[in-house]
Structure 1
Amino acid sequence: MKIVDAEVVVTSPGRNFVTLKLTTDEGLTGLGDATLNGRELAVVSYLTDHVTPLLIGLDPHRVEDTWQSLYRGAYWRRGPVTMAAVDVALWDIKAKAAGLPLYQLLGGASRERIGTYGHANGRDIPELLDSVRARLAEGCPAVRIQSGVPGLKAVYGVSDTDDTGAPVLHQQARPLVEDWDTAAYLRHVPTVFEAVRAEFGAELPLLHDSHHRLTPVQAARLGKDLEPYRPFWLEDCTPAENQEALRLVRRSTTTPLAVGEVFNTVYDYQTLVTEQLIDYVRSAVTHFGGVTPLRKLFDFAAQYQIKSAIHGPEDISPVGMAAAVHLDLAVHNFGIQEYSGHTPLTDEVFRHAYTFSDGHLHPGDAPGIGVELDEELAAAHPYSAAYLPVNRLHDGTVHDW
């Protein structure tokens, strides 16, 4: 079997997605998610001009060899998109050729279903409590809580919603500018946890994302302040490119830590894992090079009792989500899966076998990753310029978003 065609498809059924479609001489196709939020067209050019010409004529079964060739052959290594879409598309083809769902090629199921956490947010605490109720009504076994901060106009994790509670996605030609005040945030977050615990009790697992905005000392303080409320985790409490920074946080608090959604190789995790400075690894299939390296990361983390928690926001397409769910079902050290869901239109463009029921996911048993792209419907929703927000302090200084 050989790859005879490689196509890059861009569609925007509510937000932009980039999909790689590989076709073999036996008529099998494989899909990979290449979405890089806010830089979609750069990825299209990169894949079309530099990556896909290398794939024509290759044996799609040689997944590991192709991954290594793309990683080592470019010389300028790393980056979130070089191997990921290709790797997932090759696994999709390989599993389809075997007539099996992908998780069977990864060792089979390690569990019956996959626990998720949903996103609850509100501009104030009463609105947040209503959002938590909505997530619980969906059956979510755990909830991430994000609240507006008094005095700030716009805060990460607090989005506009429609009548169903689904996030309203604003696409714009320039980034939305959010404002930030760390001291106000640090004062407010413990009161948020206190209110949610008072309303919903001690048993509900609660997560919170600081989104890289704190220094190590500030992160340590927040972790300590949240200990009475027993968070499931504190996510991305400080920019973890400085891996040693997590030593200070770890020494200062027993609050579990989750890190890694912006990482793209195992080298970003070396210190964090070997020194057991975190409890959950957060990388996404789409931004970590695909199924091949993420499975290796999870096996590495398992040696240190660290669990998986694959990044699953709305900007990971159903193709990337499907690959994540197959991994979730297979790996032994699964922890939890983030699940934001997609718009109904997105689910029409990317018809998928995975299901979400009573707060849990299952990949289904369709051969491959179980996603089919409706190319005609995709073409009816072309690219629309969009950026992620940026963040500034009150004096105008750019801050981590």
Structure 2
Amino acid sequence: MPVIDRIELYFVKAPLPAPFAPSWMPGLVREAITFYLVRFVTDEGVEGWSAFTSGGRERAGLGDTLANLFLGENPENIDRLCERIHIMAVGGSFNWWLEPAFWDIKAKMAGLPLYKLLGGTHDRLKLYASGGELKDTGARREEAETRYAEGFETMKVRVHDFDEKVDIEHISDIALHMQGRMKISVDCNQAFRLTQFAEAPQWSLERAKRFVDAAADVGLAWVEEPLFGEWHEEIARLTAYSRVPIAGGELHVMGAPELIRMAKMGCYNIYQPDAMFAGGVKQGLDVAKACRDLGLKFTPHTWTNGFGLIVNAHVHAASGFADETLFEYPLAEPGWVPEGRDAIIREPFHHDRGWFNMPEAPGLGFEIDHEKLARYGRCFFKASRREVHWMPQALAEIV
């Protein structure tokens, strides 16, 4: 039986090609992509990688917990490993982003790309372009024209203004401008509140109703997260009211149990759990199955980094929905592009005229660019079944 023999933790801070101002974090301008990177290695030398977005040193003390919970464990026993991630959550730390690394190992040991190990047969995913910044109407038209010329048939825009008339004007303008050529959807980013840099609006049910009415009038493809994520009853009432599909579910850290309960309540028409936040690969597929049983739609969220993109691509390719729903492709030029988003991945994940070609290499299907990892990252914790090494100075040098 293979066992996890070694663990390494890195902090990575890689420059973006241009500043990026995410719509969901008012007041923040990012000039670098930052994330924690984990490497699990079996006693047979098989590696599993994953990474999770970060703000700073919030996961600096994770090493001892990982060593105590995972060293000596069988990397193919996903259920047991997920139980141990649950143990971490008892202490208030949700780390579902670790789970894909174990799938990376398991699929490599099987000699298959993960989506095929999971029973998927779709080696190409049809994409929608997912913008991440607020823009004025002129700049948004230019962005849509560019995405359309690149082969995308659907684009998601962002709204986040205190004045609801501004939000409605923006979706109406771009939908009518691209009418007959490109479908438009919108992410309202109301399901969670990130207000540490600036205040943000919080929509009421009545405001959300007025917005979805406007969205339906101009033919939007869907409206994403128009209400706070914990307001399950209000979300269900809005979805029952709306003439346009309502989507959401990306950051529900309780995973499949919560999302399936929400599905049974009628909270969303389209479920978008992100494996890095909302329960991992296995629970993402559990949600997809529940959506199938309940007559709902499924497609994962992907806005973290290149690791999150490829993990969720495997989930979507194996979900049974790959020929029914579009897969999210984050792209917000000039700052958030594959070379920056994917940072230390040797071959960034580019699209092919609005399609994504699934990797065919075993596991998650990518290689780490170790030269870039050495340039932009620092290993601050190493452990094996024989010894443990903390390197706190390495973390201090880069954060």
Band the TM-score falls in, shorter-chain normalisation: 0.7 to 0.9
3-state DSSP class of the match of 1:43?
coil
CA RMSD of aligned residues (A): 2.6
Aligned to 2:100: 88
1:231-254 Cα offsets, whole Å, 9 max, x none, are: 111111010212111132123321
Aligned to 1:241: 230
**Counterpart among 144, 148, 159 of residue 136 in structure 1:** 148
Is residue 2:59 matched to residue 1:43?
A: yes
Cα distance in structure 1, aligned partners of 2:371 and 2:125: 33
Q: Pairwise mapping of residues 151-166 of structure 1 onto structure 2 (< 5 A)? A: 156=160
Question: What one-letter code is carried by the residue in structure 2 that aligns with 1:16?
Answer: T
Relative distance call for 1:193 and 1:377 in structure 2 (3 A) is: closer
Relative distance call for 1:70 and 1:124 in structure 2 (3 A) is: closer
Aligned to 1:269: 259
Q: Pairwise mapping of residues 1-400 of structure 1 onto structure 2 (< 5 A)? A: 1-14=2-15, 15-35=33-53, 37-38=54-55, 40-46=56-62, 48-71=63-86, 73-74=87-88, 76=90, 80-81=94-95, 83-85=96-98, 87-110=99-122, 112-119=124-131, 123-146=135-158, 156=160, 181=162, 184=163, 186-202=164-180, 204-212=182-190, 213-264=202-253, 265-313=255-303, 316-334=304-322, 335-341=325-331, 342-345=337-340, 347=342, 349-352=344-347, 355-382=350-377
In the TM superposition, residue 365 of structure 1 has moved relative to its aligned partner by 0.3
In the TM superposition, residue 354 of structure 1 has moved relative to its aligned partner by 5.1
TM-score of the superposed pair, with normalisation by structure 1: 0.79
Question: What one-letter code is carried by the residue in structure 2 that aligns with 1:269?
Answer: L
**Identity of matched residues, %:** 20
Cα distance in structure 2, aligned partners of 1:385 and 1:371: 28
Cα distance in structure 2, aligned partners of 1:346 and 1:143: 18
Question: What one-letter code is carried by the residue in structure 2 that aligns with 1:241?
Answer: E
Contact 1:120 1:143 in 2 (8 A): no
Contact 1:120 1:135 in 2 (8 A): no
Contact 1:117 1:142 in 2 (8 A): yes
Higher mean alpha-carbon deviation, 103-112 vs 207-216, is at 103-112
Contact 2:236 2:268 in 1 (8 A): no
- Unmatched segments (≥5 aa) in structure 1: 148-155, 157-179, 388-401
Higher mean alpha-carbon deviation, 295-304 vs 335-344, is at 335-344
Cα distance in structure 1, aligned partners of 2:153 and 2:3: 44
Contact 1:121 1:128 in 2 (8 A): no
Cα distance in structure 1, aligned partners of 2:277 and 2:120: 24
Aligned residues: 345
Cα distance in structure 1, aligned partners of 2:182 and 2:396: 39
Question: What one-letter code is carried by the residue in structure 1 that aligns with 2:46?
Answer: L
In the TM superposition, residue 348 of structure 1 has moved relative to its aligned partner by 5.5
In the TM superposition, residue 111 of structure 1 has moved relative to its aligned partner by 6.2
1:4-34 Cα offsets, whole Å, 9 max, x none, are: 1011111111310211101111111011223
3-state DSSP class of the match of 1:338?
strand
Cα distance in structure 2, aligned partners of 1:59 and 1:197: 51
Relative distance call for 1:94 and 1:233 in structure 2 (3 A) is: same
Cα distance in structure 2, aligned partners of 1:297 and 1:384: 39
Cα distance in structure 1, aligned partners of 2:57 and 2:279: 19
- Unmatched segments (≥5 aa) in structure 2: 16-32, 191-201, 332-336, 378-394
